[in-house]
């Protein structure tokens, strides 16, 4: 990204954290960034379009860190992964003031910004649903969506109370307590589900960017490698490859030789073992061929 543009986005983010979204004017942004209106409008059509780019950057950063956390976890630790990643998400949102920014940015009524915020909500449910399915799908196949919505809503509401009351209860305590309450309800949810998980998830109108598809498919491959303990002698090496790809996701065009070697190794070893390997390699090729 253009350095000047990136600086304006970072400066604006700091203003949002310090003053709030609604209290930050374009003139405040101009003053803090030491730029003219002409420079501002060279990069952004409005305050809303700047905010959209900021939210996209933060979402990408959060997603990449989440994926890297999961890649680093050992097999058989799915419940702990959910607890850890939920704690990270809430800490990230607090640190970057994501919730208040999003809540106030909605007043802009800019279609692209509103669409992004709505998609973000849906993707949040979808992401947690997939982690829950990985952890509990075999034991509680009918309860996954109910449990996902219950856990997400409970954590969200307790975090609101914690923030508004100023009690400063630790995020870890809130997440773990909510998770434990959810576990106690699993049997009943499984026997008496409210929602048909598969139909609702399949009907959700989620639009993934190419980078989101890449990170999602990387995580899917990683999960498969962990589950299939005897699938390949190079399992450990392949997990390290996936970590490299996630860590360097924005600069893969600079490592095309390395990416090509990784792709060939994955194809040679997993072509007849992993059913989604060709789809993954196609997405990897598309990402690595993008201009830096």
Q: Specify the pLDDT at position 259.
A: 93
Extract long-range pairs of 243-249: CB within 8 Å, 24+ residues apart.
Answer: 243/68, 243/71, 243/72, 245/218, 245/284, 246/64, 246/67, 246/68, 246/71, 246/215, 246/218, 247/64, 247/68, 249/64, 249/211, 249/214, 249/215, 249/287
Does residue 245 contact residue 252 with C-beta atoms inside 8 Å?
A: yes
**283 contacts 214 by C-beta, under 8 angstroms:** yes
Answer yes or no: is pLDDT of 229 > 60: no
Residues 57 and 8: beta-carbon distance below 8 Å: no
What residue spans define the domains of the chain?
A: 1-44, 60-203, 210-288
Residue 251 CB contacts under 8 Å (≥ 6 apart), including other chains = 292
pLDDT of residue 108: 78
Output the pLDDT for position 166.
82
Assess whether pLDDT exceeds 70 at residue 43: yes
- Closest-CA residue to 127 (of 56, 250, 219): 219
CA separation for the pair 236, 156 (Å, rounded): 36
Let me know: does 54 contact 9? Beta carbons within 8 Å: yes
Per-residue pLDDT at 4: 92
Calculate the alpha carbon distances from 147 to 33, 39, 115 in Å.
Answer: 45, 48, 26
Please check whether residue 186 is in contact with residue 140, taking contact to mean a CB–CB distance below 8 angstroms. yes
The pLDDT of residue 198 is 67
Average pLDDT, stretch 2-8?
Answer: 93
Examine the pLDDT at 110 and tell me if it is beyond 90: no
The predicted-structure confidence for 71-105, as pLDDT tens digits, reads as follows 887 666 889 999 999 999 999 999 999 999 999 99
Mean pLDDT of the chain: 90
- Is the pLDDT at 158 greater than 70? The verdict is yes
Domain 1-44 coded CATH 3.40.720.10: no
- pTM comes to 0.86
Query: CA-CA distances (angstroms) from residue 17 to 44, 56, 97?
Result: 20, 17, 6
């Amino acid at each position: 990204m253009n350095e000047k543009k990136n600086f304006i986005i970072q400066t604006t983010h700091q203003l949002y954290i310090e003053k709030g979204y609604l209290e930050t004017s374009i003139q405040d942004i101009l003053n803090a960034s030491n730029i003219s209106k002409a420079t501002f409008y060279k990069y952004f059509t409005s305050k809303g379009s700047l905010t959209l780019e900021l939210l996209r950057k933060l979402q990408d950063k959060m997603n990449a860190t989440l994926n890297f956390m999961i890649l680093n976890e050992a097999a058989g630790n799915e419940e702990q992964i959910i607890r850890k990643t939920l704690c990270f998400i809430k800490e990230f949102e607090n640190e970057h003031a994501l919730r208040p920014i999003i809540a106030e940015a909605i007043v802009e009524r800019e279609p692209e910004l509103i669409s992004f915020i709505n998609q973000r909500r849906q993707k949040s449910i979808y992401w947690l649903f997939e982690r829950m399915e990985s952890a509990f799908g075999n034991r509680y196949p009918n309860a996954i969506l109910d449990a996902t919505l219950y856990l997400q809503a409970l954590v969200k509401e307790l975090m609101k109370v914690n923030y508004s009351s100023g009690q400063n209860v630790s995020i870890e305590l809130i997440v773990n307590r909510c998770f434990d309450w959810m576990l106690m309800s699993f049997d009943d949810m499984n026997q008496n589900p409210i929602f048909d998980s598969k139909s609702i998830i399949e009907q959700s109108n989620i639009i993934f960017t190419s980078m989101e598809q890449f990170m999602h498919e990387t995580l899917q491959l990683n999960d498969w490698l962990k589950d299939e303990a005897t699938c390949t002698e190079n399992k450990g090496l392949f997990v390290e490859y996936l970590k490299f790809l996630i860590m360097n996701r924005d600069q893969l065009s600079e490592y095309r030789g390395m990416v090509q070697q990784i792709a060939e190794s994955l194809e040679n070893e997993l072509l007849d073992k992993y059913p989604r390997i060709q789809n993954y390699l196609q997405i990897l090729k598309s990402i690595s061929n993008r201009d830096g």
